[in-house]
Amino acid sequence: MTAASVRPGIDERLARMIRLPTVSAELDERGAGPFEDFVALLAELYPLVHAHLERERITDHGLLFRWAAREESSDPPLVLMAHYDVVPVDESDDWTHPPFDGVIADGLVYGRGALDDKGPLIVILEAVENLLAAGFAPPRDVYLSFGGNEETYGEAARTIASVFRARGIVPWLVVDEGGAVVDAPLPFVPGRAAMIGVGEKGVLTVRLSARGDGGHASAPPSRTAVRRVARAVERLGPGTFRPRAPKAILTMLARLADRTPGAPRHLLRLLSAAPLLTARLFAMLGGEPAALVRTTIAPTMQSGGTAANVLPSQASATINLRVALGETTQQAVLRVRRRIRDPLVRVEVLEASEPSPESPTDNAAFGLLATALEVSHPGVPAVPYVMMAATDSRHFHRFCPAVYRFAPLDMSNAQRASIHGVDERVEVAALERGERFHRALLERLG
């Protein structure tokens, strides 16, 4: 079968999606209108998808499409995931183009959601629509799972995963957002690489709180509620958790070594075979390298007090942790308590989601991703890594053996920084390559 070409106008279709402000964190203020309009827009833009695939509404914000296999098959299905909600925009930020105008300029589509995650969503739908137009049917069932509240804890995806389990469906492969095609994946590694998340760190949010005697600020006691909480936060420094190098990071280093010339090649090979050394070195580098090898801990909010000259009777701080692979949220809470060393500071768990197991890289599912990449991004290797943010796919990894986080879009460092930031944008050419990736993946699914 000859593969269908990309329909003209993918940029305008994405622009129309961006113009609908599906901000899940502002659902109460904006109402459900933008979300319902988005669902209606999908039906308008992708008529073949809606004519040939079964569609279910699961919760108010979950869309599940089933593309039945061309013949009766007992093979487990493929699940392609994305989300159509976006994060809020700070109105004081200086965008080149308004974030919900969906402006197309200089070969780019600008707007909130261009990369996270309407861009990755549209390339899935484009591929399926084009294959349907060419008369293609998959050799096994394919599901498209789209959530509308990933940015607010992903209840739609959680419910969709529960539906799979209730129906006894264990996917063969799940692909969700996460990694991308990036330039220079490490400072001394040249060329491009497709970074595929084979594991996902857990999420733990805790609140530290303390009480104390209130009163006038002119005669403070030695240990106020604010001071007690501040001391607890200070004790939770970057070294709270020991570093450890998961298998995915060692494999990443080995694969990058094969494409790196000179002395750095030997260093990467050494590190790939020395997990303790790698863990310590990455921890020393700080920032993103350190986050790959240990549980991170970040104070994000503080509260307490009603006036500048009044001692508050209570104070609190919110701490966000990203729990490393191989650890548990319960272990993390115990470590936090031990480090604080203050029984008068209460540690309350607000959210806990365990880290995922690592999906393998030596199986047919990962091999299929690499094969599709050879079609869409020739010469770009598939390289595993650990996903540090949370995705909807975490609800599948409890029971699915092959879950990978990868959006087949080219992203520069500046574009990656624009996710949840200012001037989020995607190249039209990258969208076309992303469609080609999903089309190749589906065509080779047998």
Across the chain, what does the average pLDDT equal?
A: 95
- Write the DSSP string, 217-242: TTS--SS-HHHHHHHHHHHS-GGGS-
Residue at a domain's end among 338, 353, 368: 353
Query: Which tokens in the block code for residue 440?
Result: 């190749």
pLDDT digits (tens, 9 = 90+) for 225-255: 999 999 999 999 999 999 999 999 999 999 9
pTM, 2 dp: 0.92
Cβ contacts of 147 within 8 Å, gap of 6 or more: 61, 62, 63, 81, 82, 83, 84, 85, 154, 156, 157, 160, 392
Does position 192 have pLDDT exceeding 70, yes or no? yes
% of residues, the chain, pLDDT over 70:
98
CB within 8 A of 92, min separation 6: which ones?
none
Residue 3 lies inside a defined structural domain of this protein: no
Classify residue 44 by its DSSP letter: H
Decide if pLDDT at 191 tops 50.
yes
Give the separation between CA 346 and CA 339, rounded to whole angstroms: 13
**Closest listed residue to residue 159, CA positions, set 57, 238, 91:** 57
CATH number at residue 308: 3.30.70.360
pLDDT at position 7 is 53
Which of these, 151, 177, 83, 77, lies nearest to 416 by C-alpha position?
177
Residues 384, 294: one domain? no
Q: What is the pLDDT of residue 3?
A: 43
Whichever domain contains 81, its CATH number is 3.40.630.10
pLDDT at 6: 52
pLDDT, mean of residues 4-18: 82
Q: How many structural domains comprise the chain?
A: 2
Instruction: Answer yes or no: is pLDDT of 1 > 50.
Output: no
In a domain, residue 4? The reply is no
Q: What percent of the chain has pLDDT over 90?
A: 89
Beta strands in 114-153 (DSSP E): 142-147
The alpha carbon of 214 is separated from its chain's Cα centroid by a whole number of angstroms, namely 43
Residue 340 domain flag:
yes
Q: What is the pLDDT of residues 365-407, one digit of tens each?
A: 999 999 999 999 999 999 999 999 889 999 999 899 999 999 9
Per-residue model confidence as pLDDT tens digits over 86-125 = 999 998 999 999 999 999 999 999 999 999 999 999 999 9
Residues 368 and 315 occupy one common structural domain: no
Does residue 321 sit in the same domain as residue 391? Answer: no
143 touches 78 (CB < 8 A): yes
Alpha-carbon torsion, ordered 328, 331, 336, 338, to 10 deg = -170
- Domain boundary among the residues 323, 353, 383 is at 353
Residue 15 structural domain = 10-200+356-443
pLDDT digits (tens, 9 = 90+) for 297-326: 999 999 998 899 989 999 999 999 999 999
Per-residue pLDDT averaged across 16-41, rounded?
A: 97
Look at residue 55 and tell me whether its pLDDT is greater than 90.
yes
Query: What does the longest C-alpha to C-alpha distance in the chain come to?
Result: 83
In a shared domain, residues 273 and 327: yes
Judged against a pLDDT cut of 70, whether residue 2 lies above it is answered with no
pLDDT confidence band for 216 (50 / 70 / 90): confident
Residue type present at position 150: E
